[in-house]
Amino acid sequence: MKTYKLAIAGGGSTYTPGIVRSLMDRLEDLPLEEIRFYDIDGERQSKVVVAATAVIREYSDSIKVLDTTDPETAFTDVDFVFAQMRVGKYAMRELDEKIPLSHDVVGQETCGPGGLAYGLRTIFPMVELIDFVEQYAKKDCWIVNYSNPASIVAEGVRKLRPDARVLNICDMPVATMRNMSAILGVERDELKVDYFGLNHFGWFTRVEVDGVDRLPELRKHVSEHGLLTEDVSKIDYRHADASWIKTFKNIKPIMDFFPDYLPNPYLQYYLLPEYIVENSNKEYTRANEVMDGREKSLFETVRKYEETGVLEDAFHVGVHGIFIVDVTVSLAQNLGERHLVMVENNGTIPNLPADAMIEVPASITSDGPVPEYVGEIPYFHKAMIDQQLASEKLLVEAITEGSYEKALQAFTLNKTIPSAIVAKKILDDLIEANQAYWPTLNKSFSEGVLV
């Protein structure tokens, strides 16, 4: 029986123990001989690996566990790499959220100016990771990438490392499907959905169960409850806290305005920005929630485990861990399973640019994703995607060229930002905050004075 070596880049993530439990649940489909944890923050990772190892030992005594900060040690001869980097950790996420909010603009880690800031921090480290993997790993190694902001990272990889074996994925569509299935009273794997867009910027156009489109039924439910069951305990624990409940409720006004398709929940930041800002706490954002919740809980669990030998937190398997493992099993076993992933367009949506990194259904084979043909999309959705795509492409050009002007263009085009004046104020504040992470952005123009 073939066994695999797998590395987790960003092993110090709070998501790591949950992903490991998902891997353990699928050992028959993806037999592992070794799991390597790699992070540039070795102290943080070593604590997370304590919890991850405890989970592994519940299932197997034979799987080798390696905790390292050395890329050669981490990636030599591995078959798969899970990438889940958070450059700047939660301290920078907090600034990504609070600096835009200080200008009355959406503060969110992957959407709006916060997402652009995060992208500017992440593209070059992602390219460095790809280079390490290509240098040390097996030639057919796949990187399955969860690193955010996924759409910008995917565009950066497409531009800078076009031949890399990277599969960019996101669990937000899967989490949305989880809510759909709970509302419809079926299992998530019973759903067959059609979807198009960019990451965190797309629409479900059909939701089939046994060949019947249940989208009209979902539309009626959303008009009353948002994309939530009346009993929120049926929602995945990771998406069941107050801010996520609000997120899924906000689908209701979007569908009231535009009822044809079911939107990705993150479209609220682009279509309802004033409402989002008005209902945001500028002093306590989602970053603070995570630091006071999931982050604190994990390290407290580790502390108690080291004292007592009892792992109090079960690290439940949620859609985040399930999805990345499902995709990897399909890659490993050449199953051709259908999943929503990011691919280069190349005619999948004919009225979008061929080089757009879109999110659509695809069959996952050992050679990578094979996207399903979507066809031309309506003008409204195309126009929105074109604007968002231009913002993301300009950002990638800004970082690769060191161009302040293109960064400003990227911020100005982003639909969450009301004007170039506001875009420049936010960009300048973020440059100051990201001095340790961003490349230098050189200005090619003289600044005028507004009177």
Q: Quick check: 3 and 33 in contact, CB under 8 A?
A: yes
- Is 292 catalytic? The answer is no
User: Which amino acid, one-letter code, is at 139?
Assistant: K
Out of 90, 146, 261, 266, the active site residue is 266
Say whether 171 is catalytic. yes
Rounded Cα gap, residues 36 and 78, in angstroms? 9
Task: Pick the closest to residue 199 from 249, 245, 157, 246 (CA basis).
Answer: 157
Distance, CA of 123 to CA of 121 (rounded, Å): 6
Per DSSP, 264 falls in state P
Active-site option among 67, 96, 171, 194: 171
**What tokens does 274 get?**
């004033």
Q: List own/partner pairs for 217-223 with CB under 8 A and 24 or more apart.
A: 217/184, 218/180, 218/183, 218/184, 218/262, 219/255, 219/259, 219/262, 221/183, 222/251, 222/252, 222/255, 222/262, 223/252, 223/255, 223/256
Q: What residues have CB less than 8 Å from 224, skipping those under 6 apart?
A: none
- C-beta neighbour count of 289 within 10 angstroms: 16
Residue pair 94/285 in contact (Cβ under 8 Å)? The answer is yes
Catalytic residues: 171, 266
